[in-house]
Amino acid sequence: MTKNTFLLITFPMLVCFLLLGSCTSKTASNVAAVGEIPETFTKLCASCHGNDLKGEISQSLLDGSWQFGSRKGDIMRSIKFGYPHHGMPAWGEVLTDAEIDSLASFLMYEEERLGIIKPPIPDTLETQDYMIKVDVIAEGLDVPWAIDFIGPNRALITERTGRLRIMENEVLLPDAVEGIPEVRALGQGGLLDVAIDPNYDREPWIYLAFSHGHGTVMEDGEERVPSMTSIVRAKLVGNNWSNQEVLFEAPHETYKTAGHHFGSRIVFDPEGYLYFSIGDRGTSEDAQDLSIPNGKIHRIYKDGRIPKTNPFYNTPGAVKSIYTYGNRNAQGLAVHPETGQVWETEHGPMGGDELNLISPGLNYGWPAICYCINYNGDIITEFTHKEGMEQPIAYWRPSIATCGLDFYTGDVFPKWKNRLLVGALRMEELQLLDIEKDRMMYRQTILKNAGRVRDVTTGPDGAIYVVLNEPGKVLRLSQLPAF
């Protein structure tokens, strides 16, 4: 299939430094004396951001909002590698890593010293099409990861640390569901996605994706627990997880001790197939190996059986559930409500987040091709194209850290029908993409700086529900009445 690839960029901005923020973990080490501006900042940054950090031709660095990530590592990467499309030069050839670390520490410390805090979540939003009302309907969650609705007034929310929570009538119940499987909560692993059977009235199954640990190994003198993404389903009886069935559990010899890149999302297509993703688990070359489950999109039946029509079902040595491969770390899956096509977003490292149309048997290229560099600035590959490898429908550079994904299917925002909602962790935003066939026509950001968007879904009432894993809240977006 021929695809058109679009580089997603925001409108150009004169930004000669990083773009703003707040941070929950700050340090005063290696910074200038209190109230003293470092010479490095005065020489390189003040002409754009002001001698007092309050803005000149570019934004203030002391207003509590960040565009490119609020964590110290994000700030350091912003300084080192820059964002040329946004007018931000790279200073990695001018400053040492120690100087960049010191500068980032200074900026973070100044925010803390001056008592600058992140702006509160707004009550209303203005978009190109609608005025939106924002309600916080759940808070105090411990790193929430996913949400799905059982009925019009009841939803399930996963907490990555290993709890499944119930929300009724927009009230979070205090007790977690009892009896869910034990998860290996380490790094990015834990209790991940939750999905409700599309025929729940007749088949009341609830599906979970989680990091499953097995055994122990010795690495670097430490005892570690290898783990891999697993899929189960069960029924909710009262507040109990009952009649569990294991649908997918990888061979234990393929488990990894790394604490990142688990995937995982679960979606169902109109034909009743279940799709789920497993990230490359930090071993990028595994994504090209059909004998290993990680770095892939998988397809099974809802009861765990593997369709004989899967593209590699008859390939010797291949994992039979594999549907596509070369997928780095897909944390967004969605099915188009009209075409039934499966769409995916996956994380790149520095740049190269991708939007892909998932088709059976195709190779999406990771790590042989990409639009990115590694986090430390090293080149991953010189190639963006290779024969036999798919191009993304669109990609983001810089990375926004794509996550939850959903086609809007409600009636509250009729102009947005069948448009794609894309959550972003690092950029703390929710984007709306207009998809026509296999092309991305345009996009707009409809929520910014409320927190790290882990999941997004259309509720039974037609509102948009947004899961923020930091600061542990669920938002409800509805249309404000016109006056």
**Would residue 119 count as lying in a domain?**
no
Name the token pair of 319: 């994992």
Same domain, 385 and 250: yes
Mean pLDDT for the chain? 88
**Would residue 280 count as lying in a domain?**
yes
- The mean pLDDT of 338-347, rounded to a whole number, is 97
8-state DSSP, 390: P
**Would residue 314 count as lying in a domain?**
yes
Q: What pLDDT is stored for residue 74 in this prediction?
A: 78
261 is catalytic: yes
Q: In the beta sheet, which residues pair with residue 136?
A: 475
**Would residue 223 count as lying in a domain?**
yes
Q: What pLDDT is stored for residue 59 in this prediction?
A: 62
Pairing mode, strands 273-278 and 464-470: unpaired
Same domain, 138 and 31: no
User: What's the CA gap between 213 and 218, in Å, rounded?
Assistant: 15
pLDDT tens by residue, 47-77: 667 677 766 555 667 666 666 777 787 788 7
Same domain, 71 and 174: no
**Would residue 183 count as lying in a domain?**
yes
List, as one string, the DSSP characters of 344-372: EEE--SBS-EEEEEE-TT-B--TTTS-S-
pLDDT tens by residue, 6-32: 334 333 332 333 333 333 333 334 444
Looking at residue 91, which CATH number applies to its domain?
1.10.760.10
Same domain, 225 and 149: yes
- The mean pLDDT of 202-206, rounded to a whole number, is 97
- The mean pLDDT of 36-40, rounded to a whole number, is 75
Q: Is the bond leading into 227 cis (omega within 30 degrees of zero)? A: no
User: What's the CA gap between 73 and 429, in Å, rounded?
Assistant: 19
Name the token pair of 311: 């593209």
Catalytic annotation, pick one of 49, 86, 212, 261? 261
Among 86, 113, 140, the domain boundary falls at 113
Query: Which residue segment(s) compose the domain that 413 sits in?
Result: 124-479
**Would residue 243 count as lying in a domain?**
yes
How many distinct structural domains can be found in the chain? 2
Same domain, 107 and 198: no
Same domain, 22 and 151: no
**Would residue 118 count as lying in a domain?**
no
Q: What pLDDT is stored for residue 467 in this prediction?
A: 98
Looking at residue 461, which CATH number applies to its domain?
2.120.10.30
Name the token pair of 439: 């092309």
Q: What pLDDT is stored for residue 77 in this prediction?
A: 76
Among 89, 113, 137, the domain boundary falls at 113
Same domain, 141 and 12: no
Q: Per-residue pLDDT for 338 more than 60?
A: yes
